[in-house]
């Protein structure tokens, strides 16, 4: 199993129901997270020694008008000590909000 594959398995155990989906495609790990648990997940990704994602590379969004939860909030993180990246997504519907990660 690849390094990111092992990380994906560890995150599934550690985050439980906060993790909605996880995908490892073309060497990139993407996890989809429940909106109300985003700060808990981001804190884990930052503080867990197996993760050590200390750098928020970017934060962006995309609009999928034909979906019920039409907005994706997408975070890209980098771990310099582990030399790996992760994408974290949250799906939101119109009028829904998400907590800011500034406090972390």
H or E, element range at 95:
none
**Is the CB of residue 54 less than 8 Å from the CB of residue 79?**
yes
Burial class (CB in 10 A: 0-12, 13-18, 19+), 75: buried
Handedness of CA 42, 65, 25, 83 (dihedral sign): negative
Per-residue confidence (pLDDT) for residue 86, from 0 to 100: 97
The model's pTM is 0.93
Per-residue confidence (pLDDT) for residue 2, from 0 to 100: 64
Per-residue confidence (pLDDT) for residue 84, from 0 to 100: 94
Per-residue confidence (pLDDT) for residue 99, from 0 to 100: 95
Extract the residue ranges of the chain whose pLDDT is less than 50: 1
| Of 51, 59, 103, the residue nearest 81 (C-alpha) | 51
Per-residue confidence (pLDDT) for residue 67, from 0 to 100: 95
Per-residue confidence (pLDDT) for residue 89, from 0 to 100: 98
Per-residue confidence (pLDDT) for residue 49, from 0 to 100: 94
């Amino acid at each position: 199993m690849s390094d990111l594959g092992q990380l994906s398995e560890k995150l599934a155990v550690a985050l439980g129901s906060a993790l909605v989906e996880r995908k490892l495609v073309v060497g990139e790990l993407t996890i989809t997270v429940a909106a109300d648990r985003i700060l808990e997940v981001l804190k884990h990704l930052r503080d867990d020694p197996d993760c050590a994602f200390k750098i928020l590379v970017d934060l962006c969004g995309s609009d999928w008008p034909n979906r019920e939860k039409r907005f994706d909030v997408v975070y890209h993180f980098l771990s310099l000590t582990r030399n790996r990246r992760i994408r974290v997504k949250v799906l939101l519907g119109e009028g829904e909000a998400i907590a800011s990660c500034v406090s972390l």
